[in-house]
Amino acid sequence: MTRGSLALFRRLAPLCILGLAPPPLGGQARTVPWPDHPLSVLARRDLRFGSVFRGRSTTIAPRDHQAAVFEVGIGQEADLLFTFLLPPGLISPGGEALPLIFGPGDGMLVRQSAHSGGGMRFDPTRPFTATVSGDERLFLHLGGTAAPTPTQALANYHGTITLVVAALGT
């Protein structure tokens, strides 16, 4: 690791001086009762940026193995509204921010039946809708860009992404 690097790792090495280990951007699973079928939203994988260097942006594509993955199901046909609450940056314990950028193409909705193939790209900064049919499950993949400044402090940065899912209908 060079002196100008900012390392983001999953765990902190006890004697690591230059790089610290933040938790990845993560989420929690919650199942909400809805008439006769539960709406389930599970955070399957956290967004991880890996090694990030001062002054050099690191972008994670939505289908990258470091992208976040959320699984959504409802058990019946329904129109769902998805809204991501995205942090403007990761925060260190001392309150310094490491800027994050999200935009068009950083999200991808993949249907269970096409999980290994392509999907529908979306902009996670804007709400969007999708119809889920029967027992089908939807997978929302989320990438983004970490944009550290040239003088970014070495620290343990963390952040939280929230996905709000609402069932639309009468």
- More confidently predicted of 153 and 127: 127
Residue 126 scores a pLDDT above 90: yes
Rounded to 5 degrees, φ, ψ at 125 are -85, -5
Domain ranges of the chain: 5-168
| Predicted confidence (pLDDT) per residue in 56-75, tens digit | 999 999 999 999 999 998 88
At 34 the three-state DSSP class reads coil
Angle at 116 between CA 110 and CA 119, to 5 degrees: 30
| Predicted confidence (pLDDT) per residue in 3-37, tens digit | 333 333 222 222 222 232 334 455 555 444 455 55
Residue 163 scores a pLDDT above 60: yes
**Distance (Å) of CA 106 to CA 1, 5, 18, 161:** 28, 25, 30, 14
Q: Whole-prediction pTM value?
A: 0.77
CB 158 within 8 A of CB 48: no
